[in-house]
Amino acid sequence: MATEHIQRGQVIFREGDKSKEAYFIVSGLVEISINTSHGVQSLAQIGPGEIFGEMGMIMDRPRSATATALENTTLETVAEAEFEQQIIQRSDRLHVYLATLFERIRRTDLLLTTTTNATVPLIASTSKPKPAKEPVFRVKLRSHYEETGLDLPAVEKTITKLPFRIGRTYFDTAVSSLARNDLSIEEPHPYQLSRNHCEIDFEHGHFVLRDRGSKLGSWVNGEHVSVDAGCITSLLKTGENKIILGNGDSPHRYTLTIDELP
């Protein structure tokens, strides 16, 4: 297994390339994108501890997407001949691989279910054209536990990776090592939060909050976002966004602030 140091902006592989190896991210940030009739579409941004590029290698198919380093990135490359030894037979890497795989399956299943059952668009508001020059933003999440009486440590986070996944702590299950949450929140029964509750992401030129198949959904600036509501994605605005995780009277209340930097 070799280590590669990738410079910001460097393409790791392109859509259509032959699949020869998988990659484990040691540090940095990688964007996965595809070419569409409307231009390049970003599918995900992934960071340290995640694996990518393995499906094309396993299925002996060309790359289905392009991978580009968004910042200086260190990767460990895993060739097909050593995949089982380096991933499957190592418990630490196996947990990472399974967590990544389960997250992909969960998202695909959620999209299929919503597409079948929804009677309203998946994105709640009309998207605006993407600007020619990409702006730079600072995104911060702040809790209001002191106001709602929730006895938990305050949340004050600057979001630096996307998607930023939020869910209930997996303290009561044997599959906690497969969790894919960037913010895990403890909560006693009865639950307002689901283990895979929601995520903050960036798509089509806008920040969004996307449901991850939660039971109760979320409220974004007064709008219900859930599978049952037929709307799993809501646009976030520049400035302050009021977010409630769970039902309308849930104590899990937050302000998500998006500031465009000069």
In this structure, what CATH number is given to the domain that contains residue 175? 2.60.200.20
Structure tokens, 130: 């993407």
Cα separations (Å) of 151 from 135, 145, 204, 254? Answer: 37, 7, 37, 15
- Indicate whether 95 pLDDT > 90: no
Determine contact, residues 219/226, Cβ cutoff 8 Å: no
What's the pLDDT tens digit per position in 207-236? 999 998 889 999 999 999 998 888 889 999
The alpha carbon torsion through 194, 169, 247, 199 (nearest 10 deg) reads -70
159 and 80 both lie in a single domain: no
78 and 140 both lie in a single domain: no
- Give the contacts of 132 (CB within 8 A, at least 6 positions apart): none
Question: Among 59, 89, 119, which residue terminates a domain?
Answer: 89
What's the pLDDT tens digit per position in 174-191? 444 445 688 999 888 889
| pLDDT, average across residues 30-46 | 80
Alpha carbon distance, N-terminus to C-terminus of the chain: 42
Give domain status of residue 15, yes or no.
Answer: yes
Structural domain including 142 reads 136-261
Q: Answer with the residue of higher pLDDT: 157 or 176.
A: 157
Give domain status of residue 121, yes or no.
Answer: no
- Indicate whether 198 pLDDT > 70: yes
